[in-house]
A and B are shown apart, each in its own frame.
Chain A
Amino acid sequence: MKKRFINSTRRALRLGWKNFYRESGLSFVAVFVLMITISIAVLLFLLSGVVEIIISDIEQKADITIDFQTTIPEERILELKEDLEDNFEVNNIEYISRDEAMTIFIQRFGDRRSLMESLEEVDNPFPASLNISADDSFVYREIADYLERDHGGMIYSIDFANREEIIAGIFTATENIRRGGLIVAIILSIVAISLVYNTIKLAIYGLREEIKVMRLVGSSNLFIRSSFIVQGALVGCFAAFTSLVALSLLGFLIPQTYNITLEVNLYEYFLEMLPIVVALQFAVGFLMGVGSSLVVVGRYLK
């Protein structure tokens, strides 16, 4: 039984390989189409990662600042900070004391003599502040309402009112990008899958007479399927390899010609994701090659 299984497997591998290289024109077309599909899948995967980083970056830049009355002691502000961290879905709250605020001002405008001279005339005029960032714009609205309602006496100003529309706009835009990306990904995936399926369907349509002959000389459905599975797997693996080479070249060329700001280096990101990319390419290639072969051969074996 074991010997028979090994014998059949070896024959399937041999027949599949021979079909693959003897029908080189057909194999080339199938590899090319599958390579495009795999590359689309990988690019979508990489782009979704890059877009997510960029979106998070933009969203983190959309924050609000609460300035406190200069008479409010630091302890009360820190208590309020803890209160906000416990009760609202915030990413980060940064406390900037009055002294730190002045240091920042001096660092920024230290070369403006008139400003520095004016500053020497007065006591530290800068208020202590909390800088809040969150994942959703409505959190800002909730915090602003809460502070105005329950801690109005402590607050000097909240810069949310005049930035509300911009912040909401950023969140709407990023949400639209996410949604649009998903729709584009779905459409491209459907196009790619149907492209591969139909290419293999056309290829095997030409072989339907051959499949019929195989059956007539006594071949079992499993024996026929097995060689086509091997052929499909080979198409998938070759396509994954060529896609890897093509994307590596693309990844190498991009940073020299185009650099995205917003702290994303595409080439480094590609290298970081390389193990996942390789796994994804071979998994997509193998599954699509084998899956399409199985579906199409199955139709002629009914």
Chain B
Amino acid sequence: MIFFNNITKIYPPYFTKKENIVLKDISFKVEKGEFVSIVGRSGAGKTTLFNIFLGDEKPTKGDVFFDGQNIHKLSAGKACLLRRRIGTIFQDYKLLPTKTVYENIAYAMEVTGASDKDVERYVPEVLDAVGLVKQALHFPHQISGGEKQRTAIARALIHDPEVILADEPTGDLDPYHTREVLKLLLKLNSSGTTVILATHDKEIVNELGRRVITLKDSKIVGDSQQGRFIL
């Protein structure tokens, strides 16, 4: 389903004379319905890998394929159709600041052309699932970090995507909500959604007991089916 083929990402030097190699010769496949954790310390390149998959950044070398389509060779129109098949939980939430919690979530449905009736039906359901009913009409600057993270999760789930990219989705959550989010991701995975989780949380990875890809020094140093956090 998803194939990262020899991905290398090098940022040109800005303040130092040395270029910054973030990813080097990264290759792996993710099959449909898999639950994969990508682990590594902060700055290991997990977010860059997601950005490359979303087409937000271009790799210096290599290609990424989604259902056989080279993501970086798609037209703008096809790229947006592809992104609608992915639900992304961004590490920095990336909520739209001038929209309420409700509108942020509804926006991800509206761009797909969903009817107002469906929007009005599903958004309250997802708000309820992530415990944000009371905050529905609040703007992002009026809610806490944890609530922002849950809004980002709700937005990623609302349009029933085939793949969920979760970049440190529990970073700002308390233990109770962390457990709830993990349960939610596992539930979605059990119903066939592919989940790729980027995290540096040892406990989460060990508890999941699923496939783990470990990044270190810009390279993959481990890829095991029932892996554990080894860094």
Which residues of chain B are near A210, meaning CB under 8 Å?
A: 96-98
In Å, the complex CA distance between A301 and B107 comes to 18
Tell me whether A61 is interfacial, beta carbon within 8 Å: no
B83: which of A4, A215, A221, A301 is its contact (CB, 8 Å)? A215
Across the interface, do A214 and B96 meet the contact criterion of CB distance under 8 Å? yes
- Where the two chains meet, the residues of B that have a C-beta atom closer than 8 Å to any C-beta of A are 54, 56, 76-77, 80-81, 83-84, 86, 88, 90, 94-99, 103, 107-108, 110-113, 115-116, 155, 159
Which residues of chain A are near B95, meaning CB under 8 Å?
A: 213
In the complex, what residue of chain A is closest to B94 when comparing beta carbons?
A213
Tell me whether A217 is interfacial, beta carbon within 8 Å: yes
Across the interface, do B88 and A220 meet the contact criterion of CB distance under 8 Å? no
Tell me whether A91 is interfacial, beta carbon within 8 Å: no
Which residues of chain A are near B159, meaning CB under 8 Å?
A: 218
In Å, the complex CA distance between A276 and B80 comes to 44
A221: which of B80, B108, B155 is its contact (CB, 8 Å)? B80
Segment at the B interface, from A15-23, A69-77, A234-242: A15-23
Nearest 4 pairs of A and B residues by beta carbon? A218-B84, A218-B83, A219-B111, A213-B94
- Where the two chains meet, the residues of A that have a C-beta atom closer than 8 Å to any C-beta of B are 4, 7-8, 11, 18-19, 22-23, 209-210, 212-221, 223, 301
Across the interface, do A217 and B111 meet the contact criterion of CB distance under 8 Å? yes
A to B contact number (C-beta, < 8 Å): 59
Across the interface, do A218 and B108 meet the contact criterion of CB distance under 8 Å? yes
In Å, the complex CA distance between A7 and B94 comes to 26
Across the interface, do B110 and A11 meet the contact criterion of CB distance under 8 Å? yes
B96: which of A213, A220, A221 is its contact (CB, 8 Å)? A213
Chain B nearest CB: distance from A252 CB in Å?
39
Across the interface, do A219 and B115 meet the contact criterion of CB distance under 8 Å? no
Which residues of chain A are near B94, meaning CB under 8 Å?
A: 209, 213, 216
Across the interface, do B98 and A218 meet the contact criterion of CB distance under 8 Å? no
Across the interface, do A23 and B98 meet the contact criterion of CB distance under 8 Å? yes
Chain B nearest CB: distance from A212 CB in Å?
7
Which residues of chain B are near A218, meaning CB under 8 Å?
A: 80-81, 83-84, 86, 108, 111-112, 159
Which residues of chain B are near A209, meaning CB under 8 Å?
A: 94
Which residues of chain B are near A215, meaning CB under 8 Å?
A: 56, 80, 83
What are 27 sample pairs from A and B whose C-beta atoms fall under 8 A apart? A11-B110, A18-B98, A18-B99, A18-B103, A23-B98, A209-B94, A210-B97, A212-B56, A213-B94, A214-B111, A215-B56, A215-B80, A215-B83, A216-B54, A216-B83, A217-B83, A217-B88, A217-B111, A217-B155, A218-B80, A218-B83, A218-B86, A218-B112, A219-B80, A220-B77, A220-B80, A221-B76
